[in-house]
Amino acid sequence: MARSTQLRMVLLKVPQIVLAFGGLLHWPSEKNQLSLEKSSKSLEKAKVPKLKTNEEHVKELTLGQEMLEQTIKKMERECVAATASLKVREEQLWAKHMECEDLRLNLAKEKELRAEEELRTKGLREEAMTMKTDRMELWGRIGACTEDHNKEMQHANELMASLE
C-alpha cells in the first residue's frame, strides 16, 4: 500500500502521463512501475529553470527602465536635431518661394512692358506707313506742280519770244 501511494505521488508529479491517459489511470503492473519510477527520476534530474527572486525581477525592471530612458533620450536628441534641420530647410524653402514670387512679379511686369512696346511698335509702323504714303502723295503733287510750272514757264517763254 505504501508503494501504491508513492506511485500516485509520482503520477501527480508527471502531468504528461495524466494528460496522456485523460485522467483514467489504471494502476500499472510491476514491470511498468519500474519504468515509471525511472521516468520520474529522470524528470527530477532534468534542468528546470530556477525561479527568479523579487530582487532579480526588480533589477531586470530597473535595467529595462534605464534602457528605455536612454532610448527615449536618444530619440529626443534625434527629434531635436531633425526639427532643427527641418526648420533650416523650411527657411531655405521659404526663401526660394519668395525668390520665385519675385521672379513671377518681374515676369508679369516684363510681359506688360513688352505688350506696351509691341503696341508702340505697331503704332510706329502704322505711322511710318502713313508717312510713306503721305510722302509718295507729296512727291506726286510736287511732280504735278513742277510739270505745271514747267508748262507755264514754257508758255511765258513763248509769249516773251513772240513779243520780241
Q: Residue by residue, what is the 3-state secondary structure of 20-47?
A: HHCCCCCCCCHHHHHHHHHHHHHHHHCC
Domain annotation covers residue 31: yes
The number of distinct structural domains making up the chain is 1
Digit-by-digit pLDDT tens for the chain (164 residues) are 565 565 555 555 544 444 444 444 444 555 556 665 666 555 555 555 667 677 777 777 788 888 888 999 999 999 999 999 999 999 999 999 999 999 999 999 999 999 999 999 999 999 999 999 999 999 999 999 999 999 999 999 998 888 87
How many helices, marked H, and strands, marked E, lie in the chain?
4, 0
Joined together, the cell numbers standing for residue 50 give: 530556477
| Predicted local distance difference test score (pLDDT) of residue 62 | 82
**Residue 48: helix, strand or coil by DSSP?**
coil
* Contact indicator for 69, 39 with CB cutoff of 8 Å: no
In a domain, residue 162? The reply is: no
In a domain, 131, yes or no: no
> CA 82 from chain center: how many Å?
15
Q: Is residue 130 part of a domain?
A: no
**Measured between alpha carbons, how far is 87 from 98 in angstroms, rounded to an integer?**
16
Give the domain extent around 16. 1-47
Domain-embedded: residue 1: yes
Pairwise CA distance, residues 43 & 24, whole Å:
22
Structural domain contains residue 37: yes
The reported pLDDT for the residue numbered 113 is 96
**20 within a domain of the structure (yes/no):** yes
Q: Kindly state whether residue 27 falls inside one of the protein's structural domains.
A: yes
